[in-house]
Amino acid sequence: MMENTVIKKIKVAFFDAKKYDIEIFNEVNKNYGFDIKYIESHLNSEMALMAKDCNVVCAFVNDIVDKKTIKVLTKLKIGLIALRCSGYNNIDLKTAYKRIHVVRVPAYSPYAIAEHAVAMILTLNRKIHRAYYRTKEGNFSIDGLLGFNMYGKVAGIIGTGRIGKETAKILKGFGMDILLYDKYPDENFAKENKMKYVELDYLLKNSDIISLHCPLNDETFHLINHKTIKLMKKSVMIINTGRGSLINTKDLIDGLKSGKIGYAGLDVYEEEDKYFFEDYSTKVISDDILARLLTFPNVLITSHQAYFTKEAVHNIAHDTLENIRSYFAENRLENEICYFCGKDCIKDKKGRCF
């Protein structure tokens, strides 16, 4: 009874709210009873004032939670930032430390994102997107739609968290040889699945398909650049369902123009916060780099939808609200992002790890 009384007093400022977010969160919130204030705008230092009289801010991948934003939220006495995503590169953790706790949803559905990555590989390889539009127009020619057998080819997986591992297992099912790279290798996983960890340069030089599943940080920023592209096989396929800034997009375009990169599948983009999740079908895209990417027939761009399955969205809603409940009802911080170690911690309100 006391827990329910506490929860009903909690107000949540939910930024970047879309119709599908509202529907699923309202459904899951029936089990919690939070007072959720849905706000269509992105969170930034100017819009942060919309969280006045709230206890929690719920943010997404393209919300800007920088130093200015956090200072505004601190003045508003916001105690918790609940991310409804796994990535947190848009959060200034240094400024948030000892001011506002930050929690995330670390693993809502690795299967959803892994399956999307593989769908992009298959689409690019067999030119499914191009064939679809041809046949809709009555053009049944297959000229220019030649693909390649994935069986026997080499797939390089950069980042072997839950998503990277699922992607590797799916591609193994196609009969591909799998090379793995991770700063913290899981040798047991590799041994059990007959895969092997290698140095990054070796993976880049020997992979026919490279799929990115690592977090974005100082070490991985522009991991794919002119220098690393130069190491790759000619006509390599690059897939990115991680974070846009893992790739230097200008260097990617140069690689596409030269033919060094044969295919690119991008579910994320460096400057996506201006466009992704929005309808620009009747507007001019002023981002010259994004506009250039859209002209390549061997580039497939999706709008950060890899996570977007019924199961994943439901899990996001449940885990986000559960993170909020455990903080206010039990003084527990499930899935807090630790400023020091960059990992999920369970802490009390004084910042002590359990």
Neighbours of 188 (CB within 10 A): 8
237: left (phi over 0), alpha (psi -120 to 50) or beta: beta
- Amino acid in position 115: E
3-state helix, strand, coil in the chain (%, to 5): 40, 20, 45
- Which of the following is catalytic: 166, 270, 272, 334? 272
Residue 246 near residue 218 (C-beta atoms within 8 A): no
- Which of the following is catalytic: 101, 116, 243, 325? 243
- Verify whether residue 166 is a known catalytic residue: no
Backbone phi, psi, residue 154, to 5°: -110, 125
- Verify whether residue 272 is a known catalytic residue: yes
Report CA-CA distances (Å) from 351 to 37, 268, 274, 330, 332. 28, 33, 35, 14, 10
The CA distance from 116 to 197, in Å, is 23
- Which of the following is catalytic: 84, 101, 304, 318? 304
Give catalytic residue positions: 243, 272, 304
